[in-house]
Amino acid sequence: MGKTLIEKIISENVGRDVASGEIVLVRPDIAFVQDGTGPLMINEFQNMQFKEIKAHKTFLFCDHAFPSPRKELSNTQKQMFKFAEKYNSKIFYACEGISHQIIYENYAVPGNIITGADSHTCSLGCLGCLATGMGSTDVAIAFGLGKVWMKVPETIKVKLEKTLKTGVTAKDVILCFIGKIGADGAIYKALEFTGSFIKNTTMEERFTLCNMAVECGAKTGIVPPDEITLKFLKERNREVDISSLTPDENAEYSQMIEIDVSEIEPVVACPHRVDNIKKVKELDKVKVDQVFIGTCTNGRISDLRMAAEVIKRQKKSSWVKFIVVPASKEVYKQAIKEGLIDIFLDFGAMVLPPGCGPCVGTHEGVLADGEVALSTQNRNFKGRMGNPNSEIYLASPLTAAASAITGYITDPREFL
Amino acid sequence: MILKGRVWKFGDSISTDDITPGRFFHLRSNLPELAKHTLEDVREDFAKNVKKNDIIVAGKNFGLGSSREHAARVFKVLGVSCIIAKSFARIFFRNCINIGMPLIELKEVDKINDGDILEIELENGIIKNQTSSESYKFLQLPTFVLNIVKHGGIEEVIRKFGNIEV
Ligand code: SF4
C-alpha cells in the first residue's frame, strides 16, 4: 500500500514504516512555545525534573502580549527569558514577530516535524512539514526528552482546481472550505492540499491555507513541496532534497474533496463560528467599528500590499478604528521599503509593532461592548478579542481594507 | 476505575475561549484564580457551584480552538472527574489525557440531562445513568492513552519511568 506524505514523513522520522492509526514516538526537528503557553511549559519541564534540552531546535517566542500590558505577564515573560538563558534556548524578545512567521522565514524545511505549543503551528505545512499544535506539557516533553507521542493521522485530499476571480483570495478559499466541511469536519485528520490552483499559488497563499487547517479540527494541513517551495528555500539558503517528499499515487486517503476555486466569491465568517460562512454581498448592512489587518493568517507582505492597493487614494470611514500589524519584523521592514506603511498612516491606520496584536484579546485593541470587528485573523469565537459582548467577522485583507473605507462590510471589487 | 457524579450539560462547539477566555491571559500562571472564571460567558454559575467528582457532558467538538492547556487544567482544579462529549477537538483531547483527565466519546449524549447522576465504569466502557436508569456503552481509549490516564497523567509517567514508551 502506498503512503500519504504525512505517513512518509513520520516513517522517515521513526525509522520504520508506519500507517495511519498507529501511535508512535517522533523526534521533533523544532519545538517551541509562546508567551501564553511558555510559562506552563517551564513549570512542567521543572516538574518532570528535566536537566537539559534534548530537542534539536527549541524556541521561545514573546508574540502574544508583548511588550507586556500588565505586570503578571511581564513576570512570566521574564521567567521565559531566564529559562532560555539557563538552558541555552533561543528567545524572541523584541517584537520580532509571530512564532509561525519567524519559523517560516528562517528555520523550517520540508520533511521537518514541528511541535509548537500554539494551535496554528499547522501553518508550517505550507513548507511540506508535519507541523502540529500541542499543549505545554507535550512541548515540555519535546524539550526535555526530545520526543513526543503522536497518532499517525488519516489524510483528507483537498483538490483545489482552476484560478481565482479578481477580488478573491486564498483566505476566501479556506473560509469556504471550512464552511463546507464544518468546524469539526477534519478532527484528528491531516489535510493535503493539491490541484491546479495549488500548483500556481505563492508560498504566502499556501501559508494562509495551512494556517486555518486547525479551524476544521485538522491535526495539520500540508502542501507537498514543489518548485515553488524550492525557489523560496533557495532565496533563503535553506535548500534541501525534496525528492522523497511526494505522496504515493496509490496512497490511501480517508476522503477526497474537490473545489473549483473559480466559483468562489469574497466571503466572511460570521459570529461566533469560523464555519458560519456568508458571501460579503449578503452582509453590506453590517456596520463595523474596528478593522484589523494582520496575524499569522494574513499579516504577510502580500496581504499588506493587497490592502494598500485598495485604500490608497481613498478616505477612511470616520468611525472605524483601523489597526495594521505586520506578522514579523522582516514584513515590517519590507512594507516600509515599499512605502506601504506611509499609505496606511496617511489613510488613518494605527500601525503596531509585529506580533499577534489584538488577535487574542489581551491588549492593543480590545473591543467595547456591542462593537463589531472585521478582522483578517482566523478565529471569531465569542470573546476572542477580549469582550464577550462584541462580535467578530473574519475576511480577507481585501475585504477588510474595503470595509475600512466605507465603515460597513464591503465587497472589495467595488474598489479594484 | 469507577467515577460517579452530577452532570453539567453543555452544547456543541464549546471553545477554549469559552472555557478560559483570553481576557484572563494574565491569570494563566495562577490556575486557582483562572479556574474561578471557567466557562463564565457560557454559564455564569458553573465555576461557583461545580462540586468534586462532577461530570461535564457536551456536544460536538468540545474544546476547539487554541492549544492553551489551562483549559484542560481548570477542570481538574475544580474537581471535575470526567468529560463526556460527542467529539473532542484534538489538542484539547491530548491536553486532558496528559493531565490524567478521563475523556469519553459518546453518541448518546442527547439522552443525558443536566443534573443527572452518572456512574462510569471506565475499564468496562459502561455509563449508568442513575437518574433515568438507562445505560450506555462507549469505546475505550487506546491502551497507551488509557495507561497515561491511569497513572494520573504523563508527568507522573515520566517522573516514575524517566521516559515514555508506546
Ligand atoms: S496571530 Fe492570533 S492566531 Fe496567530 S499565533 Fe498570534 S494569537 Fe494565535
> Going along chain B, which residue ranges are E strands?
2-9, 55-58, 82-85, 103-105, 117-121, 126-129, 134-137
Domain ranges of chain B: 2-161
Helix (H, G, I), strand (E, B) or coil at A93: coil
Note the pLDDT tens digit of each residue in B53-79.
999 999 999 999 999 999 999 999 999
- Residues of B at the A interface, defined by Cβ within 8 angstroms: 13, 15, 17-18, 21-23, 25-30, 41, 60-61, 64-70, 72, 87-91, 94-95, 98-99, 142, 144-145, 153-155, 158-159, 163-166
Q: Is B128 exposed, middle or buried, given 0-12, 13-18 or 19+ CB atoms closer than 10 A? A: middle
When pLDDT is cut at 50, 70 and 90, the band that residue A284 belongs to is: confident
A359 in ligand 1 pocket by Cβ < 6 Å?
yes
Q: Is A323 exposed, middle or buried, given 0-12, 13-18 or 19+ CB atoms closer than 10 A? A: buried
The reply to whether ipTM tops 0.90 is yes
Which candidate from A47, A49, A379 shows the least CB-CB separation from B65?
A379
Which cell is A291 given? 478593522
Q: Which residues contact A16 (CB under 8 A, 6 or more apart)?
A: none
Class of domain A266-415: alpha beta
Average pLDDT over residues A219-247: 98
A362 in ligand 1 pocket by Cβ < 6 Å?
no
Do the domains at A5-261 and A266-415 have one common CATH topology? yes
Superfamily of the domain at A5-261: Aconitase, domain 3 (3.30.499.10)
If one counts every other C-beta atom within 10 angstroms of the C-beta of residue B131, the result is 14
If one counts every other C-beta atom within 10 angstroms of the C-beta of residue B145, the result is 18
Q: Which residues contact B45 (CB under 8 A, 6 or more apart)?
A: none
Cβ–Cβ < 8 Å for A120, A356: no
A217/B70 CB distance under 8 A: no
Note the pLDDT tens digit of each residue in B38-47.
999 999 999 9
When pLDDT is cut at 50, 70 and 90, the band that residue B123 belongs to is: confident
pLDDT for B158: 96
If one counts every other C-beta atom within 10 angstroms of the C-beta of residue A308, the result is 23
Of the residues B18, B60, B87, B91, the best mutation for testing chain A's interface (the one with the most A CB atoms within 10 Å of its CB) is: B91
Tell me how close the Cα of A74 comes to any Cα of chain B, in angstroms.
9
If one counts every other C-beta atom within 10 angstroms of the C-beta of residue A200, the result is 12
A366/B91 CB distance under 8 A: no
The two beta strands, A23-26 and A130-133, are unpaired
C-alpha dihedral over A205, A206, A212, A213, to 10 degrees? Answer: 160
Residue of A nearest to B30 (CA): A72
Average pLDDT over residues A367-371: 98
Note the pLDDT tens digit of each residue in A89-121.
999 999 999 999 999 999 999 999 999 999 999
How does the average pLDDT of chain A come out, rounded? 97
The two beta strands, A391-394 and B2-9, are unpaired
**Percentage of residues of chain A with pLDDT beyond 70:** 100
Distance CA A388, CA B7 (A): 25
pTM for the whole thing? 0.97
A98 in ligand 1 pocket by Cβ < 6 Å?
yes
Domain ranges of chain A: 5-261, 266-415
Q: Which residues contact A268 (CB under 8 A, 6 or more apart)?
A: A175, A277, A278, A280, A283, A374, A393, A394, A395, A399, A409
Distance CA B99, CA B78 (A): 14
**Which amino acid, residue A56?**
H
Distance CA A331, CA A285 (A): 33
Domain formed by B2-161, architecture: Alpha-Beta Barrel (3.20)
**CA quadruple A132, A137, A142, A148: dihedral positive or negative?**
negative
pLDDT for B1: 85
